[in-house]
Amino acid sequence: MFLYLLGIVVFCFLYRLFRERRTISDTFERYVYITGCDSGFGNLLARRLDEKGFCVIASCLTERGAEELKKVSSERLSTVHLDVTKSDSVSKVAALVKEKVGTKGLWGLVNNAGVTIPTGPCDWLSAEDYRAVLNVNLHGLIAVTLSVLPLIKKARGRVVNVSSILGRLCLNGTPYCVSKGGVEAFSDGLRRDMAYFGVQVICVEPGFFKTSMANMDFIQMHFEKMWEKLPEETKADYGNDFLEKVRCLMKKSEAMLDPDLMKAVSCMEHGICALHPRTRYAPGWDAKLFWLPLSYMPAFIADFVCRQINVKPRKSLI
């Protein structure tokens, strides 16, 4: 019986491996629109897909990011300025994409643009702090997707949404975790709605990687600015040594960041290139071996583990 079950598992694994190795052809005729290409995952993915022959439309927030990307890319790659929080900017780029793809439609959209700050405990934050992150990571992602969805349906293409493992497991109540949880829900709903039209929706949930968004010095600076604005009563709840403890935690966290961004980029690439992409990818060993399993644990276990990771306030009752 054991050997029978083992044989089934081995067969399923080999079949999945074979199925996932099959890729699409005619890449030179397919357009892919990627957001957040100034640096990090988006920049590397744009260059990678350009090398594979795709017609890449790379959106950048800064002129410098666009210029640097053009220097290392072929003439097929085009850059556009995009601010995902502004409807006029989203509509303008969507019109440009429609003009470029013509009757072929848009093969792929990769929603990669994102921000991590403001961040901090819930009682440090205002509704505006949440809006600042949600407007980029969630509302912007939805706006960009809907702006080109008819073009994706025409090509029977796919949407790749870059979420985070923190969309599955919320370490704390920071806007980043909340926004990525929304990306997970939107991806599920979009996948189910668009399956009728041959559109595939993929969600990539990276672990902790060493990107510009994970710059601990930058995050620490904003964290300290938020501390300065807090009422004395709130500061007393957390204790005068709270900031120093957070600094120590961030230094330890920085040492654990994975510098190999291609682990995540390869998953995004597979989502665009594979005939049968996965519904979800969790790049990074920390995501696969720790965060993802922890997300399936009972709440009291996940809560306990997260409390051991986070810095406790001075007036903690647990």
Q: Catalytic residue positions? A: 176
Q: DSSP letter at 314? A: T
Of all residues in the chain, what percent are helix, strand and coil, respectively (each to 5)? 60, 10, 30
Tallying the residues shown for the chain, one arrives at 318
Structure tokens at 140: 């912007």
Helix, coil or strand: residue 18: helix
Distance, CA of 209 to CA of 166 (rounded, Å)? 12
Distance, CA of 311 to CA of 145 (rounded, Å)? 37
Q: What is the CA radius of gyration of the chain?
A: 21
Helix, coil or strand: residue 214: helix
41 close to 264: Cβ distance less than 8 angstroms: yes
Please name the residue that has the structure tokens 């405990």. Answer: 121
Backbone region of residue 64 per phi and psi (left: phi > 0; alpha: psi in -120 to 50; beta: other values): alpha
Cβ atoms within 10 Å of 173's Cβ, excluding its own: 15
Those residues whose C-beta lies under 8 Å from the C-beta of residue 215, and which sit 6 or more positions away, are none
